[in-house]
Amino acid sequence: MVRLISMEQTTDRNLNPRGPMKPLCIGGVELRSRVIPAPMCNVSDRAYRGLARRMGADLVFTQMISSEGLTRNDEGTRRILDIEGEEPPVAVQMLGSNPQVLAKAAQILEAEGAAIIDLNMGCPARKVTGNDCGSALMRNPTLVAEIVRTISKAIKVPFTVKMRAGWNDKDISAIELARICEGEGAQAVSLHGRTREQGYKGEADWSLIARMKETLTVPVIGNGDVTSPADAVRMIRETGCDGVMIGRGLIGNPWLQRACEAAMQDYQEGRIADESAVPGDDLVEIENDDGLATIRVPYYMREVSIDERLNLIIEHTKMMVESKGEHRGVMEMRKHSQQYIKGIPGGKTLRQKLMKVEKFEDIGALLAEYRDYLAQRGAQQRAHSLEMERLTAAGE
Ligand SMILES: Cc1cc2nc3c(=O)[nH]c(=O)nc-3n(C[C@H](O)[C@H](O)[C@H](O)COP(=O)(O)O)c2cc1C
């Protein structure tokens, strides 16, 4: 049903122990993991953060939260925040451009249990930059200095910033701005190495992360285009950054979190020389209802059973339904579940069916049906193998 065709080979040369991995410490907050799930709108909700923790994440981010909405006690903003009673440490990311409003919002967040408060200086969306927020702040260093100073003075928990490379390729301001932020009290900087103009196109420039690491004394978190454990190792090797932040690569693939952590530890502790020693993808032949397909599956998924994936769909949806209600929870499950079932036999049909489900209980029923289908195919295959053995023994 599923056949491994090839595995990428790895090399193991020039081992050079760099010593045990030190914990990442932001302000006074010591973190057990250096792999940090990135803040993502409509993704990094409470359920997502919970699953990321289970896969080994320590610091988790909320998506950006409007400082104006928070200070007005806006109901929608409060619903998005949703950190009450959550296992710490949670970093809450704020959006805004008014220093006083941001400082007030930071105090509210501190009182509500945020372990770290972060400022969004990277969002490229027009409706955000049009209000001088997100990446538009990168064009106004004087305002950034005032914002960071005001917030840092207003709270006791660490304050951090997340930025892009700059506005466009003619205005690469990240290094200068990071220096200003550190000078005014920021305790860490995350850098997504793309400009605002790039959006999500092209490649993230990791050389900027390396330059920022050389410039600052506070931790630098590298971000952009890490989609495999080998990428994570390459990022720390090339840039020396203190932590690796992953966005899109983790959507529907929470297993990437612990695989990156393990590979980074192997590198740090000298068990592998560089990213070339990290396995790549397996080429796997799977049987779908319309025939055989060859697909690439990351090596770390060898240890993840189909059962674990199916259970995660149920559990993730249940968590979303609990925090957002049945309709939204089930609709939002769709974008995650597509990845959860990537590379399983009959996955194409299951995917199509999952896209139509509207009720939580229907997901359970659908997955039970899929389990029956797997069992039946397993039985058919076993019967086929026995028949082949019988025929071979009979010399037919
Ligand atoms: C759907 C989506 C929503 C995002 N929302 C936020 C956000 O709320 N705050 C933020 O700082 N960055 C946000 N980002 C940017 C990511 O945090 C990250 O910087 C970017 O995706 C690059 O990392 P990646 O290549 O690992 O995905 C978002 C990205 C995506 C794809």
User: Considering only CA atoms, which residue is closest to atom 7 of ligand 1?
Assistant: 40
Q: Whose CA is nearest to atom 21 of ligand 1?
A: 247
Looking at 99-108, 216-225, 353-362, which range is the least confident one? 353-362
Residue matched to tokens 């122990």: 17
The pLDDT of residue 382 is 67
Residues 6+ apart with CB under 8 A from 225: 203, 204, 231
The whole-number pLDDT of residue 348 equals 85
CATH architecture of 305-393: Orthogonal Bundle (1.10)
What band does 292 get if pLDDT is binned at 50, 70 and 90? confident
- Predicted confidence (pLDDT) per residue in 375-385, tens digit: 887 766 666 66
pLDDT at residue 68 greater than cutoff 70: yes
Between 271 and 377, residue with greater pLDDT = 271
Give the model's pLDDT for residue 396.
59
Lowest mean pLDDT among 112-126, 266-280, 336-350, 352-366: 336-350
Residue 123 known to be catalytic: yes
Q: If you take atom 15 of ligand 1, which residue's CA is the nearest one?
A: 40
With tokens 């991995």, the residue in question is 21
Residue 95 has pLDDT above 60, yes or no: yes
- In whole angstroms, give the CA distance from residue 144 to residue 138: 8
The mean pLDDT value for 367-395 works out to 76
Alpha carbon of 335 to ligand 1 centroid (Å): 15
Catalytic residue of the set 25, 41, 123, 260: 123
Q: Are 304 and 55 in contact (CB under 8 A)?
A: no
In this prediction, what percent of the chain has a pLDDT beyond 70? 91
For 94, 120, 164, 222, 232, the CA distances from 193, given in Å and listed in that order, are: 20, 14, 6, 8, 14
Picking from 6-10, 121-125, 236-240, 337-341, which range would have the lowest pLDDT averaged per residue? 6-10
Q: Is the pLDDT of residue 337 over 90?
A: no
Ligand 1: residues whose CB is within 6 Å?
Answer: 38-41, 43, 63-64, 93, 120, 122-123, 162, 192, 223-226, 246-249
* Sign for the pseudo-dihedral over CA of 48, 50, 52, 57: positive
Phi, psi of 226, rounded to the nearest 5 degrees: -90, 110
Strand partners, 90: 60
Q: Are 135 and 164 in contact (CB under 8 A)?
A: yes
Instruction: Encode pLDDT of 139-162 as tens digits.
Output: 999 999 999 999 999 999 999 999
Question: Is 311 a residue whose pLDDT tops 90?
Answer: yes
Write down the pTM of the prediction.
0.91
**Dihedral angle, C-alpha 161, 164, 166, 168, nearest 10 °:** -160
Atom of ligand 1 nearest to the CA of 227: 26
Would you say residue 93 has pLDDT above 60? yes
Q: What ligand 1 atom has the least distance to the C-alpha of 194?
A: 22
Atom of ligand 1 nearest to the CA of 122: 11
Where, residue-wise, is CATH 1.10.1200.80 in the chain? 305-393
pLDDT number for residue 13:
45
Asked whether the bond before 124 is cis by omega within 30 degrees of 0, the reply is no
State residue 43's pLDDT score: 93
Max CA separation in the chain (angstroms): 87
Give 30 Cα–ligand 1 centroid separation in angstroms: 24
What is the rounded CA–CA span in Å between residue 13 and residue 273?
6
38 C-alpha vs ligand 1 centroid, how far in Å?
6
Q: Name residue, tokens 């020389």.
A: 273
Task: Grade residue 357 by pLDDT with cuts at 50, 70 and 90.
Answer: very high
CA-nearest residue for atom 2, ligand 1, is 40
Given ligand 1 and candidates 35, 36, 40, 41, which is best to mutate, with the most ligand atoms within 8 Å of its CB?
A: 40
Right CATH for 20-277 from 3.30.2350.10, 3.40.190.10, 3.20.20.70, 3.40.50.12780:
3.20.20.70
- The CA 366 to ligand 1 mean position distance, Å, reads 32
CB of 6 within 8 A of CB of 283?
yes
Instruction: Give per-residue pLDDT as tens, 78-88.
Output: 999 999 999 99
Average confidence score pLDDT of the chain: 92
| Contact yes or no for 101/67 (Cβ under 8 A) | yes
**Ligand 1 centre distance from Cα of residue 245 (Å):** 10
Taking the centre of ligand 1 as the mean of its atom positions, its distance from the CA of residue 325, in whole angstroms, is 25
Burial class of residue 248 in the structure, from the number of CB atoms within 10 Å of its CB (0-12 exposed, 13-18 middle, 19+ buried): middle
Instruction: Identify which of 45, 248, 332, 339 to mutate to test ligand 1's pocket (most ligand atoms within 8 A of the CB).
Output: 248
- Looking at the predicted structure, is the pLDDT value of residue 265 above 50? yes
CATH 3.20.20.70 domain extents, the chain: 20-277
